[in-house]
Amino acid sequence: MENTDLAQQVQAWLIQDPDPVTREKLQQLFVQSQTNSAAQAQLFDCFNGSLQFGTAGLRGELGPGPNRMNRVTVLKAAAGLGEYLLAQGKAGSPVVIGYDARHNSSVFASDSAQVLAGLGFKPLVFGTVVPTPVLAFAIRELNACAGIMVTASHNPASDNGYKVYLGDGRQIVPPSDLEIADCIAQVIDVRSLTLSDELSTVPESIIEDYVAATANLVTTGPVSRTEIESVQCVYTAMHGVGWQTFAAVMHASGFRVPEVVVAQRDPDPDFPTVAFPNPEEAGALDLAFACAQENDANLIVANDPDADRLAIALPTRSGQWTMLRGDQVGVLLGWWMIERSRLAGTPLAGAFANSIVSSTLLKDVAQGAGLDYQHTLTGFKWVSRVPDLVFGYEEALGYCVDPKNVSDKDGISAAVMFLELFAHLLGQGKTVWSVLDHIALEYGLHETAQVSVRIADVSRVKAVMDKLRSDSLAEFGSYPIAKFVDLAIGDDLPPTDGVLIELAPHGDVVWSRVIIRPSGTEPKIKCYLEAVSNQKDLTAAQASVDAWLGELARIAEPLLTGEPDATF
């Protein structure tokens, strides 16, 4: 990009930007860029293309320019979405808009509502911050043609995002996302948009209806009130918007009031106690561990900042607190969906589903109960579309236990369903660990692990993936490859950027798999590992799969960084 061209783009942006904060920041950055190479690089990046309308919408760093999240970017996105909806014959229909507590979320929600009102739609905006699952619930409850959730989920404090749903309450998938992106690209100058204040507030009863519907999962279940009341959990909202809704659902379900990590309870867009507001990140649950120890709690429940994800932590057999992996929570919830139906005398019918990067164990559990099973591409926009879905999950802490009400991952309903499971086990004198052992003995010990590398230069992602595809396919490290699949070509799923490698048996490990793909929401390349042992001595089986997963992780890490000497 030539300096003259960049200067023209900066001036064109300044003219149409309605936000004095980003205008001033851009002006300062432009002046600094004349003499400072770091400022020049930053300015270039702000205008180096546009944020791509991809995984359910937009997500990126806050700041000026088309490659950042800001009011101009959001105004264009709202206008493009509106034009797409008009082309679909949805003129005059309601559109529900929710937002979390991140920087500028409420402003982005308001801007979107004014654009859509100007196009003749009936925007319904929540009057307060809400969890993403409540927005997904409201779309169908209010018979809306679309929904917008302003959130960057578990991304760093410097980010924000824009998640789009259509009238079925599910996140958008191709070709809708591409068609909306094309409409957005047609918006050149936001000053040409017609804005209107003809908008309404979402009725407060919608949140109450969500709470009642979610609590109903437990109150109509097979676990007694006495068992429910025996659970003492610790809860953290990770500085997000989950606490009030979660507390209301807990009360309505009959659970005891949880101990709460006070320092992380209330919304705070700066996320002061964590480096990354993601329960999966090292150190994120340290305050919750301390709170659980102080209060002699049974378990820890953690939501991410927009409460669509759930993390569970428990004391191990030795008493050390540890977070369950997403795959462990997923298979436990799947097992419980089957078991609670058996206890209630109402056999479960329908399908289980999880994403391709999640454990294959759910397939065995589902088919063992006579249920259909389907694996999908990564992302809940795909999991939620499985026909006759009754339970779905993906390993990144996303679970759908109530698809009739929320066709998306929901960290609140999943939490109360897990608490119901836990209450039942307490009443039976059993533990989560004993259930996992039972499942392992029946279907083999499935263990999963993950390696991920943050990529500062996003352009490196393509180079890394291209190298993986071009290297020798005979061995992974020095171990024989049984099967190599370029997921961009496709196997039994639509094409996606990634590679799948199945390894030949190794000792007690009868099957193992490596999947490498770029993250859809963060500047990361991720590697998903799974190993299976049928050894009935679970201690020996655990040692075998742990050692093998460690070896696979050792081989995988240099591949993710694109080191020159890293080969299969």
What residues are labeled active site?
Answer: 153
Contacts of 119 (CB under 8 A, 6+ apart): 79, 82, 83, 86, 194
Please state, in angstroms and rounded to a whole number, the distance separating the CA atoms of residues 136 and 5.
42
Beta strands in 32-184 (DSSP E): 57-61, 94-99, 122-125, 146-150, 159-166
Residues constituting the chain? 568
Closest to 549 measured CA to CA, from 476, 447, 473 = 447
Beta strands in 405-523 (DSSP E): 445-454, 475-476, 479-486, 499-503, 509-518
Closest to 488 measured CA to CA, from 516, 525, 512 = 516
Q: What are phi and psi of 192, to 5 degrees?
A: -85, -10
Please state, in angstroms and rounded to a whole number, the distance separating the CA atoms of residues 521 and 491.
24
343: which strand partners? Answer: none
Pairing of strands 479-486, 122-125: unpaired
Q: Is 472 exposed, middle or buried (0-12, 13-18, 19+ CB in 10 A)?
A: exposed
User: 3-class DSSP state for residue 98?
Assistant: strand
Please give the angle made by the CA atoms of 160, 240 and 297, to the nearest 5 degrees: 150
Please state, in angstroms and rounded to a whole number, the distance separating the CA atoms of residues 238 and 230.
25
User: 3-class DSSP state for residue 106?
Assistant: helix
DSSP string of 71-84, one letter each residue: HHHHHHHHHHHHHH
Contacts of 563 (CB under 8 A, 6+ apart): none
Please state, in angstroms and rounded to a whole number, the distance separating the CA atoms of residues 257 and 247.
7
End-to-end CA separation in angstroms for the chain: 37
DSSP string of 304-324, one letter each residue: -TTS--EEEEEE-TTS-EEEP
Residue 399 contacts residue 414 (beta carbons within 8 Å) = yes
Please state, in angstroms and rounded to a whole number, the distance separating the CA atoms of residues 501 and 568.
10
Residue 409 contacts residue 510 (beta carbons within 8 Å) = no
